[in-house]
A and B are shown apart, each in its own frame.
Chain A
Amino acid sequence: MALLQALVNGVLVGGVYALVSVGLTLVFGVMEIVNFAQGEFLMLGMYIAYLGFVGFHLDPLVSALLAFGLLFGLGMAIEAGLVRPVLKGSQLGHIFLTVGLSVALQNGALALFGGDFRAVQTPYQVSALALGPVRLSVPYLLAFGWAGAVSAALHLFLTRTGFGRAMRAVAANSTAATLCGVNVARVRMVAFALGCGLAGLAGAVILPYAYVFPTVGFQYIVIMFTVVVLGGLGNVNGAIAAALLVGVVQSVSTLFFPTVLENLLVFTLFVLVLSIRPAGLLGRAHAL
């Protein structure tokens, strides 16, 4: 019975991991940049929702939209001002630009908010639905619902709209896309902004059940990397499938291992996949 409960929890958490990770994989697919600051955008989303709750009594699930908008804007500015200049340069620049951003944002939050762990008190915080023998935590369920809705919207955007198709074209082959008249610079900007916005939204959505503190992003970045690598860097559908898998593995492993070692297992999975199948479990990198 504990196993069933762990499976269900794993799927619920995995849905949120999907939300957090699709942005990362999207940005890699389109720009071939691993955004090491993705965890910090999640952290910013959490703080935005936290401030919205403390200042205006906004439910985090509502301020999620605000977090998305603000981080989308920030992402556009960062892409145009910082990422674009290094895109043509060396690998070292690609990596350390976002690493530097991550350091600055993390410590900026530390200077601004201090190192305290903060949380919000929502009415549904401790409630759970009983489904037979299994209990579904309401905050997890709501977060999962948001994740599902956003994933569906993203899927529609990428497959049904012109701009979404352009984005997939750039991911497949940016030169060919340019020749077909796609404005690659604009696609990249929107992709990066979308990645940031989705991370911010995810941050707000998990606030009802998670603490926010300046280095919270690091906990998630570990999982994000594992998810996107498992799914194949750049592969959105792969990331969603992998996110559910990682959620389940993590949740089930707590039944057998001490929680301290929870991440060790995730990392082991990560290293194994990277060394055996660098293109991900589902193969094909670069398939948005």
Chain B
Amino acid sequence: MRSEGPGLGGAGALAAGVLAILGLPLLGLSDYAMRVATLTALYAVAATGWTLIGGFANQVSLGQATMFGIGGYVSTLLFARWGVTPWLGGAAGAALAALVAIALGGVAFRLRGHYFALITLALAEMVRIVVEYDQPLTGGAQGLSVPLVRNSLVLLQFARARDYYEIAALLLLAALALSRAIAGWPLGYELRAVYDDEIAAALAGVNVRRAKMRAFVAGAILTALAGTVYAQFTGFIDPDSVLSIPLSIQLALYAIVGGARTWWGPLAGAALLVPLGELMTSSEAGAGAGITKVLYGLILVAMVIVEPDGLAALLNRRRRGARAQA
């Protein structure tokens, strides 16, 4: 399948989408619903970060959670130990994530395909082990709590979920705008060329390594920022919730289900699956905590068999079919 440029509607549709995302709190939803919406937005941002490299360039990373965790841990540590506002902490987390991405990419981009997936998984596990081991600094496996201050824009803490949502929604719009812009930039074309055939891309004059690195670093920054807001929002992080392989898989899952080759796919996947997951977790009331994840796994299996390019491709196929009939 040839992937075209940005796509998905004209300026009108885009404006409507932006208004819908920002205006969601006006619907007067419950605090719980707004919590779910906030989580959805944050995971969508993190999944967008994965898509830039995993979807656009087909460099399947299994370690995106590392960046999410770095965002969460850096801002929380700076806040808890030295009272640094998470606004600055988030920036520091994003900067560190960018540096880590450069270092990890330096090692991992020598490899392709399965080897790349394997090494990203290993590197992510190494980060998790170190964080768990260095208990005096990071709180180890027990995790870290964010000091509670309640309702301070300066310290990025609010009493109501809808205030967090507005922050998350702004971050989401920024992430989507960046992803859409990249898809249209020369970098987007380079990444698609890498997707199609890395060797051919290199022969055609694409600096493959540079293109991958740029996408990886941009994605790392987005995911780290989502991690910072997530930590503030939930008030608690531990290696399982922000640094684990299952989280890496979950982020890729959102992108793949929505459409990993489009800028809006990660949002579509997260908007579908995060509320579904929350709904199931709350309704089964802890009886069998595994069921939701079983479903996630099965959805992932079904999706790659039916349409590895996700709902986006299914929609495109139908649209093209309708046009052909007209």
Contact = CB atoms under 8 A, between A and B. Distances in A.
B305 interface: yes
A107 B297 contact: yes
Contacts of B260: 92
Nearest to B133: A260
Interface in B281-306: 288-294, 296-301, 303-305
A263 interface: yes
B114 A92 contact: no
Nearest to A108: B294
Residue of A95, A102, A103 ringed by the most chain B CB atoms within 10 A: A103
B72 to A, nearest CB: 21
Given A93-B304, A100-B304, A261-B133, A229 B125 contact: no
A86 interface: yes
A96 B305 CA distance: 10
Interface stretch (A14-22, A69-77, A169-177, A268-276): A268-276
Given A261-B133, A267-B126, A95 B117 contact: yes
Nearest to A276: B110
Contact of B297 (A32, A105, A260): A105
A94 B305 CA distance: 10
B114 A94 contact: yes
Interface string A80-111: 00100110011111111101111111111111
Contacts of A110: 288-290, 293
Nearest to A37: B297
Contacts of A95: 60, 62, 114, 117
A278 B293 contact: no
Contacts of A163: none
Contacts of B304: 86, 89, 92-93, 96-97, 100
A102 B297 contact: yes
B279 to A, nearest CB: 17
Interface in B141-172: none
A10 interface: no
A115 to B, nearest CB: 8
Interface residues of B, number: 46
Interface residues of A, number: 48
- Secondary structure of the A side of the interface? helix
Given A86-B308, A260-B132, A107 B291 contact: yes
B62 A104 contact: no
A96 B252 contact: yes
B288 A111 contact: yes
Given A100-B300, A101-B297, A110-B290, A90 B118 contact: no
A104 B294 contact: yes
B122 interface: yes
Contact of A278 (B115, B252, B291): B115
Given A92-B58, A96-B300, A100-B298, 6 more contacts: A96-B308, A106-B297, A214-B290, A229-B115, A278-B110, A278-B111
24 contacts: A92-B304, A93-B308, A96-B252, A96-B253, A97-B301, A97-B304, A99-B300, A100-B253, A100-B300, A101-B297, A103-B246, A103-B294, A105-B297, A107-B290, A107-B291, A110-B289, A111-B294, A222-B122, A225-B121, A229-B118, A267-B123, A271-B107, A271-B119, A271-B126
In order of increasing CB-CB distance, the 10 nearest A-B pairs are A104-B297, A100-B300, A103-B297, A110-B290, A107-B290, A111-B290, A107-B293, A111-B288, A100-B301, A93-B304
Interface of B: 54, 58, 60, 62, 107, 110-111, 113-115, 117-119, 121-123, 125-126, 129-130, 132-133, 245-246, 249, 252-253, 256, 260, 288-294, 296-301, 303-305, 308
Interface of A: 28, 32-34, 82, 85-86, 89-97, 99-112, 214, 218, 222, 225, 229, 233, 258, 260-261, 263-264, 267-268, 270-271, 274-275, 278
